[in-house]
Amino acid sequence: MSLLFRDYAGTPKAFDEVVGAEGVRVAYGSVLRQLAKLDSEEVRARAEYLKSTYLDQGVTFDIGGEERPFPLDIVPRVLLADEWAEVEAGVAQRVRALEAFLSDVYGEGRAFRDRVIPRRVVVTSPHYHRVVAGIQMPNRVRCHVAGIDLIRDEVGRFRVLEDNVRVPSGVSYVMTNRRAMFSALPEVTNRHRIRPVEGYPLHLLAALRAAAPSGVADPTVVVLTPGVYNSAYFEHALLARMMGVELVEGRDLVCHNGRVSVRTTQGLRPVHVIYRRVDDEFLDPAQFRSDSMLGCAGLITAARAGNVTIANAVGNGVADDKLVYTYIPDLIRYYLAEEPKLASVDTWRLEDDEHREEVLDRLDELVLKPVDGSGGKGIVIGPRANAKQLDALRARIQKDPRGWIAQPVVQLSTVPTMIEGKMAPRHVDLRPFAVNSGDDVYVLPGGLTRVALPEGELIVNSSQGGGSKDTWVLAPDGVRGKRRRRRPREALAGVPQVDLGEERVQQQAQQQQQTRVGGSPC
C-alpha cells in the first residue's frame, strides 16, 4: 500500500468503503494499487492540479455572491457493477412510484380514497400547489429529472435519505469531475473500465423533447435559469451548452395568448419545453410570488392550455416533503405492487402524539429535520446541539409538529479524502440522477458523491462547505489487463514539407565566404 494510505483506518462507528475488517475491499484494490505507483508528493501535486483546473474553467458555485471552485477530491469513490445494479433498480423503482403518486395527487386522488396516505399530509405540504391540479402532462411525466439522495449505513447498506424531484442540482459536477480526474490521474483511470457519464445531456434532451406538447414535431427546448447569481448557474450554462439549447432568464420570455415566446434579435420565437431551474414560487408572478423577477407571468396558464411543458412539473415538491417520505415505501407497494428495493431511514412522524412524545424525550440523540428544507438547511443534530438550541427546537416542534421529522443519527459511510496532504476518513453520500423520458427511467451511472470536509461532519451539502468525489461505476470486468501489442500498421507517408532549395544556397554561400577568406581579387 502506498505511503499515503499506510496509516489509514476508517472511523470506528461508520462503515468505511475502502478498508474493512479483512483489509482493502475488492472495489478499491486496483485503485489503491495504481495510486501506490505514484509517489505521495506526486499525488499531492495532482490534487493541486484539480483545484487550479476548476478555477481556470470557472467550475464554481456561488455562496453569498462569491464564486468558489467546487472542491474535488483526488481519491475516487468506486462502486462495483453489482452494487450499482442494486442502486439503479432501486432508484428507477422509486422514480416510477413518485411519478404515479404525483399524478394521483394532482389528478383523481386514489391513494387518499384507499387510505394509503392521508389527504391532510399532502395538502398541508408547503409545496403543494392547488393551481396546478388537473394539468395533464403531455407524456404523463412530471419528474423529468430526479435526484435521489442515498447514504450507506453502519453495515454498508444503501438507504434513501431524501428525494429531490423539484430542481435537483449537481449533475454538471458529475461530468466535470470525470473530465478532471481523467486528466489528473490518467495512470489510474485508464486501468479501469468506468461506465461513462458523458451521455447525460443527450438523455435529458431526449426526455425533454419527448415531453413536448402534442402536435409539435420539432420542439424548441430552453433552460430557464434564475441568472448568474444563482449558486448553480454554472450547471445551467453547462447543460444548455451540452444540449445545444438556449439558456434563458425570466426576462427573455414573454407569454401571450397562452403561448410562450423568447425575445431574440429577430423578434419573438416560440418555446415549447422549458427545463426550468427556477423554484415554483418564483416561476410565475401571476400565480405565485407577485414580486418575483425570475419568472414570467402567464407560464402556468400556458402550461394549462397545453402549449408549453414545464419540466420538472410545478408542484412536485409534495413528493420531496420529508413527512411524505415516510409514506413512500407504502406508496411503492400501492402503486407498483412491488416491495421497495431500497431501504429508507427510520423516521418519526411528529404529528403523531406518541411519536412526538418519544422524540421530545430523546431530542439530544436524534436528528431533527424541517420537512421542506433542502441543502441541509435547518437540520439539528441532537448530540451536537447545546441545551439552549434544544429548548428552542422543542418550542418550534410543539408549535408546528407538521413541519418536522426526526431520524436516528445515521453514521454515513466514509471514504479516504485528502485533507491537508494526508488521507483521512470523511463521510459521504451519493446522489444518483434519474431521467424519465416516459418510456423508461435512465439512471446516470454513478451520480454525485458529496463529501463533508470537516472532521466528523455529517452534513455533506456544498452550501455547508462540502466537497465532492468522482464516482466510478465499474463495468462487470472492471479492471483492464495489460494491453496486447498490435502489429504495427503500414504507415502513410509523413507530413508534406516545403523545399526551399536552402541546401544548395547554403553551400554556395559558404563557398563564397571561403573564396573571400582566400583573398579573391574582387
Partner 1 sequence: MLSRIAESLFWIGRYLERAEDTTRIVEVHLQLLLDDPTVDQDDAAVNLLEVMGVPVGESADTNEVLRALCYDPASPSSVAAALGGAREAARRARETVSIEMWEAINTTWNSVKAGRLQRMRPASAFRLVRERCAVISGTADQTMSHDDGWLFLTLGRSIERIDMTARLISTAHLISGTQATWSNVLRGCGAHHAFVRTYGGVTTDTDAAEFLLLDRLFPRSVVHNLRAAQAALVELDQKARRAGSDEAQRLLGTARAALEYRDPGMLLDDLPHRMTDLQRICNHVSEAITERYFSGATAATWSGGN
Q: What are phi and psi of 247, to 5 degrees?
A: -100, 115
Residues 289-308 that bind partner 1 (CB under 8 A): 290, 292-293, 297
Q: How far is the CB of 296 from partner 1 (least distance, A)?
A: 8
For residue 469, the cross-strand partners are: 449
406 contacts partner 1 (rule: CB under 8 A) = no
Helix (H, G, I), strand (E, B) or coil at 358: helix
Yes or no: say if 336 and 100 are a contact pair by the CB < 8 Å rule: yes
Binding residues for partner 1, total number by CB under 8 A? 32
Residue with cell 402534442: 214
Residue selected from 285, 401, 432, 478 as contacting partner 1 according to rule CB under 8 A: 285
265 contacts partner 1 (rule: CB under 8 A) = yes
85 contacts partner 1 (rule: CB under 8 A) = no
116 contacts partner 1 (rule: CB under 8 A) = no
372 contacts partner 1 (rule: CB under 8 A) = no
Q: How far is the CB of 292 from partner 1 (least distance, A)?
A: 8
Nearer to partner 1 by Cβ, of 167 and 412: the residue is 167
Q: How far is the CB of 310 from partner 1 (least distance, A)?
A: 17
How many Cβ atoms are within 10 Å of 268's Cβ, its own excluded? 14
Q: How far is the CB of 324 from partner 1 (least distance, A)?
A: 29
34 contacts partner 1 (rule: CB under 8 A) = no
Segment interacting with partner 1, rule: CB under 8 A, options 23-31, 98-106, 150-158, 288-296: 288-296
Helices and strands, counts by H and E, the chain? 18, 27
Nearer to partner 1 by Cβ, of 75 and 283: the residue is 283
Segment interacting with partner 1, rule: CB under 8 A, options 52-60, 162-170, 417-425, 505-513: 52-60
Q: How far is the CB of 300 from partner 1 (least distance, A)?
A: 13
360 contacts partner 1 (rule: CB under 8 A) = no
| Burial letters 125-140, b for 16+ CB under 10 A, else e | bebbbebbeebebbbe
Site string for partner 1, 214-233 (x = CB under 8 A): ---------x----x----x
238 contacts partner 1 (rule: CB under 8 A) = yes
Cα 188 from Cα 402, distance rounded (Å): 49
Cα 428 from Cα 413, distance rounded (Å): 6
62 contacts partner 1 (rule: CB under 8 A) = no
| Burial letters 59-78, b for 16+ CB under 10 A, else e | bbbbeeeeeebbbbbbbbbb
Find all residues with CB under 8 Å of 70, minimum gap 6, and list them.
54, 59, 60, 61, 173, 462, 467, 468
Residues 242-261 that bind partner 1 (CB under 8 A): 246-252, 254
| Burial letters 283-297, b for 16+ CB under 10 A, else e | bbbbbbeeebebbbb
Residue selected from 56, 353, 490, 503 as contacting partner 1 according to rule CB under 8 A: 56
57 contacts partner 1 (rule: CB under 8 A) = yes
Cα 41 from Cα 36, distance rounded (Å): 11
Nearer to partner 1 by Cβ, of 58 and 134: the residue is 58
The candidate with the shortest Cα–Cα distance to 460, out of 28, 52, 70, is 70
Cell of 90: 432501486
Q: Which residues bind partner 1 (CB under 8 A)?
A: 55-58, 223, 228, 233-234, 237-238, 240-241, 246-252, 254, 262-267, 285-286, 290, 292-293, 297
